Structure 1
Amino acid sequence: MSHILFVGIDVSSKNNVVCCLPEGDSAKPLSRFTVSNDEPGVLTLHERILALMQKHNLSSIRFGLEATGCYSSHLARYLESVLSFSPCEHSVYVFNPSLIKVFKKSHFLDAPKNDRVDAWFIAAKLRSGHLPRAFTWSESLAALQRLCRTRFHVTQCLTRETNFLLTNLFLKFSSYSAGPFGKKTSATSLAVMEHFASVENIIDMSVDDLVAFVARCGKNRFENPQDVAQALQKAARSSYRLPKAMADAVNLAMASNIRIIRSLQEQAKSLQKAIEEHLATIPQTLTSVPGIGPIFAAGILSEIGDIQRFPNQMALAKYAGLAWTESQSGDFKGVESRLIKSGNRYLKYYFTEAAKSVQVHDTVFAQYFSLKAAEPAKYAEKRALALTARKLVRLVDYLLRTNRLYEPREVIRQHG
């Protein structure tokens, strides 16, 4: 007598196609139906599953669906924590679509691609075993993840706009990079780009007036504004000159860029403040690591979620895309290996950027990075950074599982 119902759900923006399989080897579904991907639809799904459980005297339910971003998030949350299937036990599993694709090919090379077939294979995967850890939903981490991903999107847009601005800047002021501003998108730098229509205007302006302009835009933060003004005029004298029609077009393009950049900078600041406030409500010890601030800690925490869903630090590294391919057959073993292409791109970004910061602020990681960078290898710096990020994965895994503060190796040895 069967006791478990395996429910595969193929999710789309409008509909959820459902296939229910019994235990055993039977390929015939107990039920197939389609519901809308909204709250009335999931309530209908709930009613039909309960009726099916009662009809066949089943005691446990396993739901399976592919991770399809925003389209599957509501359904997974409702099934896991909003809807009640008592007295039946139930669990929800969210699969990487690549796993379902490989599972499908391993059974039928020429299986058709449609929603009904996909739902059947999701249910079959549930029935076959070797499942990931059951899906759990945390409101605080889900909210933090949304904030972190939005900030990531804003910073990516800011980088693209900045790069485009710099291409126009070279046309207008070709020697600007030799000028006094290290950060080209600082408030004073943007004011210079916006205020002066051409390099001639900078050259013709008196040094005293230019010093006053720099001091005013820099809010008197420059130690020697006269040096800044002179460096600016020197760079202007060595720059190419543009004809008027071209100069007008470049100025208009740059003005548009600058408005967008300022808006994105404001949004990034607003999101950073919200992330820091939200992180303060979540117990964590990642910020005890030198070089990991609130943004890196929030990004890593929100993408990992519950650390217990990973059996060990190797599984976490693979999820973060910080594992290496292996090529071995018989007596042959490949010498060179590359990072895997799968994994969570957001988590990989946060681990890599955090590794850059940690190796600057922490002596243990600094020594490790220097050691790896000195090894004779292709792309030594990139390789060293990837290995440092992989080392950071082990540390983060340990801190999250033990909820302990970070202690450098030297301190641990002294107390040992």
Structure 2
Amino acid sequence: MQPVVGVDVAKGSSVVQAFTRRNEPYGKLESISHGDSGFERLGELLAELQARMAIAPVVILEATGHYHRGLVAYLERSGWTHFIVNPLQSKRAKGTQLRKVKTDAADAWHLADMYYRGDVLPHRTWDETFTELQHVTRQHEFVTGMFVQAKLNARALLEQVFPAYEEIFYALFSVTSLSVLERCLEGDDGDLVETIQACAGKSRSRRWVDEKARRLREILLDWRAQPRSQSQTVALSGMVSLLLSFTEQLSDLEKQMNELAFDLPEVELVKSIPGIGDKLAAAIVAEVGDVGQFEGAKQLVAYAGLDPGIFSSGKFTATSSRITKRGSKRLRRSLYLAVQCGIRGSTNKRIREYYDKKRKEGKPYKVVVIACANKLLHHVYAILSKKQPYRN
């Protein structure tokens, strides 16, 4: 029987237990650090086990956020066979035991036992470009969320500190508007024309720039004469600097996203679907990865967590059920947004027709949008598997 090493991954370290065969541990339980010395010790243990059993051992570990990635990178570099177990599957398998035990040692033992029972299947693997794109799109989503919260806070402060400024620029949170506001709050408003022209560039005429500068001078005279909270002024200045920093970060992330997407033909294929632009296409492809890993569209739908849960017991069968939500929440969110873009203005005629049909049947809005997301994901699977663009 093949030797197995069960690894319970934690932050900064992992608990390792080797087995020569089922329920026969080899050596003592060890804790290794996620560094060169720890990985070197793991390599020594694996080599020792291979020499003793005359067969390469298999490493079983659980996906644990980002903590397992350093260990997985070492195993891939060293050429050791490893399997990454879905935490949901691991937790369900533990539920078959009568005793309730939760320790690192028990988890490492349990992971190895799952392999011996035949419950472990090969994990998803894909090209490094997909992984890099996934990192960038997820970071973009994270920074965008903070950017939105920062804008809400900045607007609330602006309404209390400098309410008249909102009438100057239509795009209040554009780089031009934020840069000018930053100069005004700092009291450095000597040459507003040059400041506005430098930020706006050639996109605006000289007449537009002069008009903005004139209106700014007028409201600044009244603003300086009025009493205001110094602490709120400082807070607003800090939020403006933060917004400019977020804008720059998002610009850099979008540039990286476009560079990575250029090397992936799948992004262009997904973009051929009406209602899906650069960012949504990149996010969908990053979360789906290599579509060849899915046996069919239904498996991809299950991976996205858009498949309905089934509940039946005896003579009872549930007539209505919610989606499982056990897959990638980022993929679900991207598809939800893509459907909203597609039905708005009938951009995607097929999805719009399907949406209208379900609404006429009396289905609630969110139920219909989720059904459309399911259908859209079938379209995504079809164009990626056939490598052909979307056709109306």
* TM-score bin, normalised by smaller chain: 0.7 to 0.9
Q: In structure 2, what is the equivalent of residue 201 of structure 1?
A: none
CA separation of 1:345/1:317 partners in 2, compared to 1, >3 Å: closer, same or farther? same
Whether contact under 8 Å (1:215, 1:221) holds in the other structure is no
Q: Does 1:323 align with 2:311?
A: no
Residue type matched to 1:344 in 2? S
Residue type matched to 2:157 in 1? N
Residues 6-405 of structure 1: matches in 2 within 5 Å? Answer: 6-23=4-21, 26-34=22-30, 35-57=32-54, 59=55, 61-79=57-75, 81-84=76-79, 90=81, 92-111=82-101, 113-136=102-125, 138-172=127-161, 183-187=171-175, 189-190=177-178, 244-246=227-229, 248-284=230-266, 285-360=269-344, 361-378=347-364, 380=365, 382-405=366-389
Cα deviation, 1:323-367, whole Å, max 9, x if unaligned, reads 333343334333443333432222222222233334443221222
Normalization by structure 2: what TM-score?
0.80
Whether contact under 8 Å (2:17, 2:105) holds in the other structure is yes
Separation of aligned partners in 2, 1:107 and 1:71: 27
Residue type matched to 1:110 in 2? K
Q: In structure 2, what is the equivalent of residue 414 of structure 1?
A: none
Whether contact under 8 Å (1:321, 1:343) holds in the other structure is yes
Whether contact under 8 Å (2:9, 2:67) holds in the other structure is yes
Q: In structure 1, what is the equivalent of residue 222 of structure 2?
A: none
Deviates more, 1:251-260 or 1:211-220: 211-220
Separation of aligned partners in 2, 1:292 and 1:164: 30
Cα deviation, 1:58-86, whole Å, max 9, x if unaligned, reads x354321111132211222332x32135x
Local SS of the residue matching 1:244 = coil
Normalization by structure 1: what TM-score?
0.76
Whether contact under 8 Å (1:320, 1:348) holds in the other structure is yes
Residue type matched to 1:405 in 2? P
Residue type matched to 2:42 in 1? L
Separation of aligned partners in 1, 2:385 and 2:156: 47
Cα deviation, 1:122-157, whole Å, max 9, x if unaligned, reads 111122223343343532222222222221111111
CA separation of 1:403/1:62 partners in 2, compared to 1, >3 Å: closer, same or farther? farther
Whether contact under 8 Å (1:359, 1:365) holds in the other structure is yes
Separation of aligned partners in 1, 2:261 and 2:374: 24
Deviation at 1:192, TM superposition (A): 7.2
Deviation at 1:9, TM superposition (A): 0.8
CA separation of 1:96/1:192 partners in 2, compared to 1, >3 Å: closer, same or farther? same
Deviation at 1:183, TM superposition (A): 4.6
Q: How many pairs were matched up?
A: 371
Q: In structure 2, what is the equivalent of residue 412 of structure 1?
A: none
Separation of aligned partners in 2, 1:249 and 1:325: 53
Deviation at 1:317, TM superposition (A): 2.1
Local SS of the residue matching 1:107 = coil
Separation of aligned partners in 1, 2:53 and 2:373: 51
CA RMSD of aligned residues (A): 3.5
Whether contact under 8 Å (2:339, 2:373) holds in the other structure is yes
CA separation of 1:309/1:169 partners in 2, compared to 1, >3 Å: closer, same or farther? same
Whether contact under 8 Å (1:373, 1:383) holds in the other structure is no
Local SS of the residue matching 2:8 = strand
Deviation at 1:54, TM superposition (A): 2.8
Percent identity reads 26
Cα deviation, 1:205-224, whole Å, max 9, x if unaligned, reads xxxxx999999976686799
Separation of aligned partners in 2, 1:281 and 1:5: 40
CA separation of 1:19/1:225 partners in 2, compared to 1, >3 Å: closer, same or farther? same
Residue type matched to 1:84 in 2? G
